[in-house]
Structure 1
Amino acid sequence: MVSQNYLSSTRLISEYYTGPIVRLNPDDLHVMDPDFFDEVFNITNGKADKPYRVANVFGPYPAVCTTYILRTTKEADKNSNKAIGTKDHDVHRMRRGALNPFFSKRFVSELEPFVQAIIDKMCNRLDDACETGEPIDLNLLNIHVPWLMKSLYMIPDRLMRVISPAMTDILDMRERLALQVEDIRHERDLSHTQSGHRTVFHELLQSKLSPLEKGRDRLRDEAFSLITAGSGTSAYVLKVLSYHIATNAQVQRKLLQELKTVTPQVSSHVDLQTLENLPYLTAVIREGLRMSHPVTHRNSRTFPERTLIYGGKLIPAGTTISMTPLLIHENERIFPDATTFKPERWLKSDNLQRYLVTFSRGSRSCLGINLAWAEMYLIVAKVFRRFNFNVDLVVRERDIDVAKDMIMGVPRSDTKGVVVKVEQV
């Protein structure tokens, strides 16, 4: 866990050395050239490992974020028989391959009615707030302590509940997920027949993964990592995006005008495909992704078999190369007046899209990108067609802007949350 000093220090060091490359460690380079991002984060560089310090962030079990203790001799030799992250390219590829169908564009479209139903419940809650005048806190603060996660997983649950009662809800969720794994494995859980969609457990248990990969604890923590990673980042983006829409009357007016073309009545239903074709809504979401910085830590890759070239100089195979999305998104050369919310910038140039790197790129890009986009289209369209937010109690410098890098961007310690009053359109 580091403070805002990491981000500011990286900028200052690069300016001091008058160059875009900074050597953070003997085998770890940080690059501040946005045009180099696609050279590092793509699918053509061959094997792309994730450094230990990054892969071990979320603990020992989840496959996409991290891995677990491998017990077979062959795999133990390959991964040092330790609870390390999915550092290895091939192991990551195998595990992600089993999850990819669950997050495909087609599968996400099948989930649309389910997502819409949840959004409707949220809007009903906002309706209640309109009637009562009750303020709503949009803030979701996720603070991760990366270097502690491995140790926390080693503490028995019973002891953890005594040491930190605040962990009870998290431990209960993990246990419920473990029970759900076993219920689905033994066909005791048939709830998917009522909901109309299968869970990620169904996909993994019926995949071609080895029996070891389908163990109770691994699947439990795989699901837990997907829930925490997906919900926290999406909620953070939507919180920041809602603030910027609410504080910009011109943006709010243009967005509402466009939404009315497909939803003439507040109660009108509109599908995801229609929303994806709305240019201003898309521009608003892109600008929200650029300015929210849901992931602030540097993205890192190690290419064990490939030498990269930057500015005519060789970067030897095995060197860790890092880039920070926040520094790209705040680059004044690419995004003039970068700290100002301007959706119109996305309507003027298609070339800007290559610099929107919120979800990263390459073989280790965000698994849930299709679901995240679907959520943002559906939520922003539904909420801002029906409601306005009064954000008089929110101070941008205190409650919105990134002050610390804790994997996710977080505001200042004295934040009061993003407390809003809800009004009908």
Structure 2
Amino acid sequence: MGVLAPLWDHLILVLVLSLVLYQVALVIYRLYFSPLAKFPGPKLAAASLWYEFYYDVWLEGQYTFKIRELHKVYGPIIRISPHQLHVYDPAFYEELYSQHKVRHKYKYFLDRFQLPLSGFGSIDHKLHRDRRAALNKYLSKQTVARLEPMLLDMLDKLCGRIEEFREKGEKLNMRIVYQCFITDVITLYALNRSWNHLDSPNFSPLWVETIAETVKMGHLLTQFPIIFPIALGLPRWFLQITKPGFALLMDFRKAIEVDTKNIIEGNYKFDPDKGNGLQDTIVHALLESDEIPPSEKEYPRLFEEAFVIIGAGSDTVSNMLTNTHFHLLDNPQLLKTLRDELKEAMPDRYARANLKDLEALPFLNAVANEGLRLSYGVSTRLPRISPYESMTYKNWEIPAGTPVSMTSIHIHQDPTIFPSP
């Protein structure tokens, strides 16, 4: 062993030096020889993903706002990582997210939650469109109109719960309330089994924490996607001790796994005699559809689609309702105008609302649209790739295969589109 010790020391030294030289060479290539080297932006961002890591993981999602600052310094198109560009110009939106050109998604961005079989997680342009098309009719305006009785029942329950707290003089966190309301609606429509968070005495703050932790972990999992499959194999008690957010995420996945398997096994079906559930729900419809191949009806695929629908849908819509609620309370005159319009359209305050009548109210629609604008949907950047041909932005030619992103917050707050945003 004494003879081999110098050899081992030498080998370790060679490996360390090789690694250092490789990293130096990689940085030099990225800064000076990469096809993206010509694009403006901070050198640290071009050299390493650790720049993105610092703002998105260490500072918890602040890269979106840092990117906006960088655009003020470097211009409307910048390099935000060794591999990715970002554009801050509403005029480029239709080109980047074109409905008529091939646009793949970015694997690096999608690998965070390991959902490649869902429409959200489908990288290929055509595959994504096919999977989205299978869902479109269940998310259309006509379908929502058919859900009106169910929505009104849920609203009655929501108003009843709010009234309980009002009579007791207790405060309510409306973020939790709306999250529970929307989740109950979505789970009933997706799975034909509502999770009934509105029935919980204090609503379900743990559920809201689950969604918040899931979103928060997204940045870390983007940088290190290997963490997720490792976490799936660890016992829950260990996750609860080391990273409680992962334990909540595993519980979320487990609940949808159980519900999806029950649907495949023939449970949760609509029974007109008992009046339970809905006649047409999303996962049931996909399972029974004649328009999609058998491979798209298998358990892993249906589970992943349900996971995305429930997770993304409940968070984005409840966030919109919460923000709209806040801004109305913060602007009493706007709240009065809305109430006056509703009183005129619905003189009987206890009568059930009619969706068609509500759609005809201009100020209510303006409030809803402004609430959507201030909620942003997905607040992070959404990369797209033109795989076969280059894209052109002003005098810049963007090489084919380059991930390019824009950010909804930047568009929704652009004063050239929305004065005094």
Q: Same fold (TM over 0.5)?
A: yes
| Structure number with larger C-alpha Rg | 2
Structure 2 CA distance for aligned equivalents of residues 134 and 157 of structure 1: 42
1-structure distance, mates of 2:308, 2:132: 13
Q: Residues 336 and 97 from structure 1, CA distance in 2 versus in 1: closer, same or farther, beyond 3 angstroms?
A: closer
Aligned pairs, how many?
A: 317
- Give distance in 2, aligned partners of 1:292 and 1:235: 10
1:223 aligned to 302, 306, 320, which one? 306
Deviation at 1:214, TM superposition (A): 2.3
| Structure 2 CA distance for aligned equivalents of residues 333 and 55 of structure 1 | 31
Q: Deviations over 1:5-45 (max 9, x none)?
A: 4133212222222x211122354221111122122222112
CA distance in 2, matches of 1:247, 1:229: 27
Q: Tell me what 1:20 maps to.
A: 76
CA distance in 1: counterparts of 2:379 and 2:163, whole angstroms: 34
Identical aligned residues as a percent: 32
Q: Distance in 1 between matches of 2:82 and 2:252?
A: 41
Quick check: 311-320 or 87-96, which moved more?
311-320
Change (3 A) 1:113 1:157: farther
Secondary structure of 1:227's counterpart equals: helix
- 1:282 to 2:365 alignment: yes
User: Would the aligned equivalents of 1:59 and 1:150 in 2 still touch at CA under 8 Å?
Assistant: no
* Alpha-carbon offset, residue 186 of structure 1: 3.6
Could you say which residue in structure 2 is the equivalent of 1:346? none
- Once the two structures are TM-superposed, the CA of residue 245 in structure 1 deviates from its matched residue by 0.1
The answer to whether structure 1 residue 197 and structure 2 residue 279 are counterparts is: yes
Structure 1 unaligned regions, length at least 5? 67-85, 339-425
Alignment RMSD, CA only? 2.4
Cα contact 1:174–1:221 (8 A) shared by 2: no
CA contact (8 A) 2:264 2:299 kept: no
1:253-301 Cα offsets, whole Å, 9 max, x none, are 1101111122112112222222122111111111112223342101211
TM-score (norm 1): 0.68
Aligned in 2, Cα 1:115/1:180: closer, same or farther, shift over 3 Å? same
Sort the Cα spacing of 1:62 and 1:107 in 2 relative to 1 into closer, same or farther, 3 A: same
Q: Which runs of 5+ in 2 are unaligned?
A: 1-55, 177-207
Mapping for residues 140-151 of structure 1, pairs under 5 Å: 140=176, 142-143=212-213, 144=215, 145-146=217-218, 147-148=220-221, 151=227
How far apart, in 2, do the equivalents of 1:158 and 1:7 lie? 32
Q: 1:215 to 1:4 in 2, by over 3 A?
A: closer
Greater helix fraction, Structure 1 or Structure 2:
2
Residue of structure 2 in register with 1:88 after alignment: 124
1:163–1:10 Cα change, 3 Å: closer
Per the TM alignment, residue 169 of structure 1 is displaced from its structure 2 partner at its CA by: 5.8
1:160 matched residue in structure 2: 236
Structure with the bigger percentage of strand = 1
Q: Judging changes above 3 Å, is the alpha-carbon distance between structure 1 residues 172 and 291 closer, same or farther for their aligned structure 2 residues?
A: closer
| Deviations 1:300-344 (CA, angstroms, capped at 9, x unpaired) | 111112332221432232222211111122222332322xxxxxx
In the alignment, which residue of structure 2 is the partner of 1:132? Answer: 168
Equivalent residues of 2:76, 2:89 under 8 A apart: yes
- TM-aligned CA distance change 1:216 to 1:5, over 3 Å: closer
Task: Give the TM-score of the pair, scaled to structure 2.
Answer: 0.69
Counterpart-to-counterpart distance in 2, 1:239 and 1:15: 31
Corresponding position: 1:178 with 2:257: yes
Q: Secondary structure at the match of 1:25?
A: coil
